[in-house]
Amino acid sequence: MVELKKEFPNAVIGLSDHTLNNNACLAAVALGASILERHFTDSMERPGPDIICSMDPLALHHLITGANEIAQMRGGKKEAVLEEQVTIDFAFATVVTIKEIEEGEEFTMENIWVKRPGTGEIKAECFTEILGKRAKHSLTKNKHLKFIDIKD
């Protein structure tokens, strides 16, 4: 698939597969294949030279389902689905005051930190950017810090 895409960048590529299971087809989809061909039989018990490399209705179902799932996973932008939000809110930390802070006081490692759940506005990866800046107004302990709390 990689070589085909390189040689024919504007072509729709695919795989004509004669292996014993769906793995080559699924791998091809992961690498960009949009067309798959495999032999099909209603029963793997039939006689014939191509039966060994054929798929039955169950294997076809697995191929279609797997190929569609993999095709949806290719490329694009990774975004959390709605069901992941509860985990994201818990797993990711946000910046929180760990002491009372007076107006104009500098943010330091002694008065702010990152905590779970990550339901605040300022994500943990911004923590070091906040250090050294000053409070726009007085803040209570255990308050999720917001950008409006920081002097420009």
d(CA 77, CA 123): 20
**List of residues 6+ apart from 90 with CB closer than 8 A:** 116, 117, 118
Where in the chain is CATH 3.90.1210.10?
A: 82-149
pLDDT digits (tens, 9 = 90+) for 64-98: 999 999 998 887 776 777 777 777 766 789 999 99
pLDDT digits (tens, 9 = 90+) for 110-147: 999 999 888 899 999 899 999 999 999 999 999 999 99
**List of residues 6+ apart from 144 with CB closer than 8 A:** 94, 95, 96, 119, 120, 121, 122
The whole model's pTM is what? Answer: 0.52
d(CA 142, CA 134): 17
| Best CATH choice for the domain 82-149 from the list 3.30.300.130, 3.90.1210.10, 3.40.50.300, 2.160.10.10 | 3.90.1210.10
Q: Provide the CB-side half-sphere exposure for 146 (13 A, CA).
A: 8
